[in-house]
Amino acid sequence: MNTIDSVLYRITRLAVTAMIFFTCLAPSNARADAAGLLIGRGSNNSYNYVPSVIMHADGMQKMWWCAGPGPRDTILYRAINANTQQLITSTTKVLSEGAVGSWDSVFTCDPSVVMGNFSYPDGNGDRYTYAMYYTGTDNSTNGGINNGIGVAYSNDGITWRKWPFPILRVSTSEYGIGEQSVISADGQSAVWIFALQRTSPGIQHYHLYYSPDGVHLQYQFQVSEAGVLGNFLTQADFAYDYSTGSLYMVTDRINDEGTLDVYKMPWSTLSNGTWERVASMGRNGSYKPTPASNLFNAGAGFMRNEFGNNSLWLPNIQVFFGSGPDKQQTELWWWQTTGN
């Protein structure tokens, strides 16, 4: 069994043991499409997008997302009981830019959170149950260049301890590396990291990395863009369906931040296969839930379990995204679809 098959097998076995608990959370008579406003704008969150959402077996739904007022990004958190809609933890700032002079001193955005058993990389043996992968930079030129990916650790999802160095970054005058989406590979410390890379003018692709410990990366390959409108991936999030071996992706449509598309593809063909479009939403999508004046329906994240799987809700696919007249004035919405 090769590396990819082996780690996917282990996470599949972990996920199957939880199936009996998650099945009760899936709506039994969900409509093909439904959507609604989730979190409105406020003085501390004039814009909201790129959420990372975990649904636990007991109905606890936890969400981390990028917000501000500009020009600096921050990461907010809230938790609800999805069965009763009771607010468990109100909106709280949990991660901000680093100190002056640090690599992430300007922007801290794009959270992707998974759970497991992580060891803090300094070798002292401190262990954590959450890992958050985020984008940061120390250069605000053109809205942020020379970005990299960092990681922070937590045992409650609220108090985070950053690793002070980026785990993936190259020197560039372009965007750099970020907009990552992370899936647990073994329920412990191994992870798959999908990362957008734009280090040369006009060239932008998603690449896949594997890490056995959540920090040290092994490059795998460039993710296929075939079948995606415009052959272009940006602000993508991914979720793994262990029941079929398929990977789901939600991404902004090229040259159209008013429209989101959901695709799927067998994991085994990610480097050279063709994405199948499952659903679309927004200004030029099949489903149009948000106001026509909202030119920005983008920066989406799937509802996933703690390991990055969405199997237990399928065929229902739930996506959370930012919506508003522009990127700096957005609210968080949710969209549920069975495909259209």
More confident residue, 30 or 220: 220
Instruction: Pinpoint the alpha helices (H) of the chain.
Output: 3-17, 19-22
Whether 172 shows a pLDDT value over 80: the answer reads yes
Which token pair is 192? 């798959």
Instruction: Please say whether the beta carbons of 68 and 107 come within 8 A.
Output: no
In this prediction, residue 19 has a pLDDT band, given cuts at 50, 70 and 90, of very low
| Per-residue pLDDT tens digits for 292-306 | 999 999 999 999 999
Contacts 24+ apart (CB under 8 A), 72-77: 72/96, 72/97, 72/106, 72/107, 72/108, 73/97, 73/107, 73/108, 73/109, 74/108, 75/108, 75/109, 75/111, 75/132, 75/134, 76/44, 76/45, 76/48, 77/157, 77/158
- The count of residues in the chain is 340
Show the domain range for 78: 3-337
pLDDT in tens, 184-224: 999 999 999 999 999 999 999 999 999 999 999 999 999 99
Task: With CA atoms as reference, report the closest residue to 170 among 98, 103, 99.
Answer: 103
Q: How confident is the model at residue 27 (pLDDT cuts 50, 70, 90)?
A: very low
Q: Please report which confidence band the pLDDT of residue 32 belongs to, taking 50, 70 and 90 as the band edges.
A: confident
Number of H helices, E strands in the chain: 2, 20
Q: What is the pLDDT of residues 72-84, one digit of tens each?
A: 899 999 999 999 9
Query: For 49-107, what is each residue's pLDDT tens digit?
Result: 999 999 999 999 999 999 998 778 999 999 999 999 999 999 999 999 999 999 999 99
**Over 90: is that where the pLDDT of 266 sits?**
yes
At 236, the pLDDT band (50, 70, 90 cuts) reads very high
Total number of domains in the chain: 1
Q: Which amino acid is at 340?
A: N
Return the SS3 of 2. Answer: coil
pLDDT at 196: 98
pTM above 0.95, yes or no: no
The answer to whether 206 and 180 are in contact (CB under 8 A) is no
For residue 235, give every residue at least 6 positions away whose Cβ sits within 8 Å of its Cβ, in sequence order, or none. 50, 179, 196, 251, 252, 298, 299, 300
Distance between CA atoms of 179 and 197, rounded to whole angstroms? 9
User: What confidence tier does 8 reach under pLDDT thresholds 50, 70, 90?
Assistant: low
**Which of 201, 193, 259 is CA-nearest to residue 229?**
259
pLDDT band at residue 2, thresholds of 50, 70 and 90? Answer: very low
Supply the CATH number for residue 29's domain: 2.115.10.20
User: What span, in angstroms and rounded, lies between the C-alpha atoms of 26 and 23?
Assistant: 6
More confident site: 72 or 263: 263
CA Rg value for the chain: 18
Share of the chain above pLDDT 70, in %: 91
- 8 versus 143: which is more confidently predicted? 143
